[in-house]
Chain A
Amino acid sequence: MNRWIYDFAVWVDGHDWSTALHESYYLYNWVESTHVLALMISLGMLFLIDLRMLGLALTDVPASAVARRLNLPMLVGFSVMIVTGVLLFYAIPVRTAQSLWFRVKLVLLLLAALNAWLFHRRLRAAPAGWELAARAPARLRLGAALSLVFWALIVICGRFIAYDWFDCSAAPAPLIATLAGCIDGQAQF
């Protein structure tokens, strides 16, 4: 598995455009800035929806209006995050594929997606008349709290990718090297 991921990353790294994007100061930094600034659209909307469910923000705006109206801008923001995120991976594939934080982040993204799917199912199943209350029913509050935790951890992992604490080139402990996917005797990128 780690071998396969490594070979794939090396293959991506061989693309001319990958090198070009990595080496372009302005293009790379603008893609990276767009990725970070789009947090204000994607997570900005998500946090407001979650905090509304918990009764911590926008309490006299109907919860269903918040969830429904902020959904579209949130999805637009997440689309930007995905496109710029893929581009960032494309620019630096091998180091990113072998980043412990990047791997943890992908697992957390899957968990957050699963949680979002469950949340929307519960939202549709919620009994009428709840949306004017300051707090949502307990099942929705649980989903909102989990969403906040997952996304906080995702942002933390994303920020940590930039640091080289556990890079393969820093020869981490064997367990971490396996989790990060380091290959014995690999070329250093």
Chain B
Amino acid sequence: MSAFSLPYSRSAAVAALLVAGAWLGLSDWRLQAWQELLPLFEWMETTPLGVAGKTWGAVFALVQALHLLSMALLGGAVLVADARLLGLLLREVPLATVQQRCHRVFAWALLVVVCSGVFMACGVAVKVYYLPVFWYKMLALAVGVVFVYLVRRPLLRHADAVHPWTLRLVALASLMIWFSVAATGRWIGFSG
């Protein structure tokens, strides 16, 4: 019997991940890891992506627009999937169909958002390295990805067996997480 087929094993794994994350975040390890990451961010500015982002302002601005467009698509997929879980939208379409189809759009949009985000980060790597809001955003994004792949999708695979209120709470959590990712992301531009 593999670990993941035990009852609540996935819940236990996610809880352990959260505890480990909180412990690392509150310990001295956080500062140490941040200091050790400085060379990585300095190197990012010297890569071709970093040089391109610094040299061609118009390319940087176009990638920003691409980042916004893919964010809109990602947000749309999240909103429709969550609104369906809350029973607000597309109730005449089976839940599993809406969730699967929206997830496919979400995954493509996430890919474009992350790629354009990496390009933008390379152009201004050392600047964002010193911005707390950049790290809040990375944290929110990490929580979002963990939530989607380790909590939400495994739960929805057995949606009929899950309590309806659990599904609604999943939708609310998802909306709050992705709002935080987008809002902290926008705030990077206002800082520094």
**Do most interface residues of chain A lie in helix, strand or loop, or is the interface mixed?**
helix
Is B51 in contact with chain A by the CB < 8 A criterion?
A: no
The residue among A32, A51, A65, A69 with the most chain B CB atoms within 10 A of its own CB is A69
- B182 x A44 contact (CB < 8 A): no
Chain B residues closer than 8 Å to A152, beta-carbon distance: 65, 69
Q: How far is the CB of B85 from chain A (nearest CB, A)?
A: 14
Is A10 in contact with chain B by the CB < 8 A criterion?
A: no
Which of A34-42, A121-129, A174-182 is the contact stretch? Answer: A34-42
The B35-93 residues at the A interface (CB cut-off 8 A) are: 57-58, 61-62, 64-65, 68-69, 71-80, 83, 89-90, 92-93
The B83-141 residues at the A interface (CB cut-off 8 A) are: 83, 89-90, 92-93, 97-98, 101-102, 104-105
Chain A residues closer than 8 Å to B64, beta-carbon distance: 159
Is B190 in contact with chain A by the CB < 8 A criterion?
A: yes
Is A146 in contact with chain B by the CB < 8 A criterion?
A: no
The B163-192 residues at the A interface (CB cut-off 8 A) are: 179, 182-183, 186-187, 190
CA distance A37 to B179 in the complex (A): 8
Is A80 in contact with chain B by the CB < 8 A criterion?
A: no
Is A43 in contact with chain B by the CB < 8 A criterion?
A: yes
Chain B residues closer than 8 Å to A32, beta-carbon distance: 186, 190
- A62 x B179 contact (CB < 8 A): no
Given known pairs A37-B182, A43-B76, the reply for A57 and B65 (CB within 8 Å) is no
Given known pairs A58-B102, A163-B61, the reply for A70 and B183 (CB within 8 Å) is no
- B89 x A69 contact (CB < 8 A): yes
CA distance A65 to B93 in the complex (A): 8
Q: Which residues of A contact B (CB under 8 A)?
A: 29, 32-33, 36-37, 39-48, 51, 57-62, 65-66, 69-70, 73, 151-152, 155-156, 158-160, 162-163, 165
Q: Which residues of B contact A (CB under 8 A)?
A: 57-58, 61-62, 64-65, 68-69, 71-80, 83, 89-90, 92-93, 97-98, 101-102, 104-105, 179, 182-183, 186-187, 190
